[in-house]
Chains A and B, each alone.
Chain A
Amino acid sequence: MNAARNAASNAAWTARLLVAQRATAFVLAFAVAIHLATIIYAVRAGLNAGEILGRTRGNALFLAFYSLFVVAASIHAPIGLRNIFREWANWRGRSLNIAMIAVALILLALGLRAAFAVYAA
Chain B
Amino acid sequence: MQTDTLELDIWRGGRDGAFQAFELPLRESQTILDAVTEIQRTQDASLAYRFACRVGMCGSCAMMVDGIPRWTCRTRVVDVQRKGKRLKLEPLRNLPVVKDLAVDMAAFFDKWRDAKGYFEPGESPPADFAVVPPDSRERRAADVAIECINCGICYSACDVVSWDKDYLGPAALNRSWTLVNDVRDRGQTSRLEAVATDSGCHSCHSHMSCTAFCPKQLSPTQSIAGLKRETMRAALRGAI
Contact = CB atoms under 8 A, between A and B. Distances in A.
A15 B203 contact: no
B240 A86 contact: no
A59 B151 CA distance: 62
Contacts of B198: 10, 14, 86, 92
Contacts of A92: 198
Nearest to B166: A92
5 contacts: A11-B193, A12-B193, A14-B202, A19-B235, A87-B164
B196 interface: yes
A64 interface: no
A4 B232 CA distance: 20
- Determine chain A's interface SS by DSSP, over half rule: helix
Contacts of A14: 196-198, 200, 202
B236 interface: yes
A11 B200 CA distance: 9
Given A14-B198, A15-B232, A19-B235, A7 B203 contact: no
A85 to B, nearest CB: 11
Interface in A26-62: none
Given A7-B193, A7-B194, A86-B164, A12 B228 contact: no
Tell me which of B160, B197, B228 has the highest count of chain A C-beta atoms within 10 A of its own C-beta. Answer: B197
Contacts of B235: 12, 15-16, 18-19
B219 interface: no
Contact of A11 (B228, B231, B236): B231
Interface residues of A, number: 17
Interface in B201-235: 202-203, 228, 231-232, 234-235
A18 B193 contact: no
B117 to A, nearest CB: 15
A40 B52 CA distance: 65
B163 interface: yes
B142 interface: no
Nearest to B167: A87
Interface string A69-113: 000000000000001001110001000000000000000000000
B164 A11 contact: no
B73 interface: no
Interface in A1-27: 4, 7-8, 10-12, 14-16, 18-19, 22
B193 A8 contact: yes
A22 B194 contact: no
B28 to A, nearest CB: 46
Contacts of A83: 203
B176 to A, nearest CB: 13
A15 B163 contact: no
Contacts of B160: 87
Given A10-B198, A18-B228, A18-B235, 20 more contacts: A7-B193, A7-B194, A8-B193, A8-B240, A10-B197, A11-B192, A11-B193, A11-B194, A11-B195, A11-B231, A12-B235, A12-B240, A15-B202, A15-B231, A15-B232, A15-B234, A18-B202, A19-B236, A87-B164, A88-B163
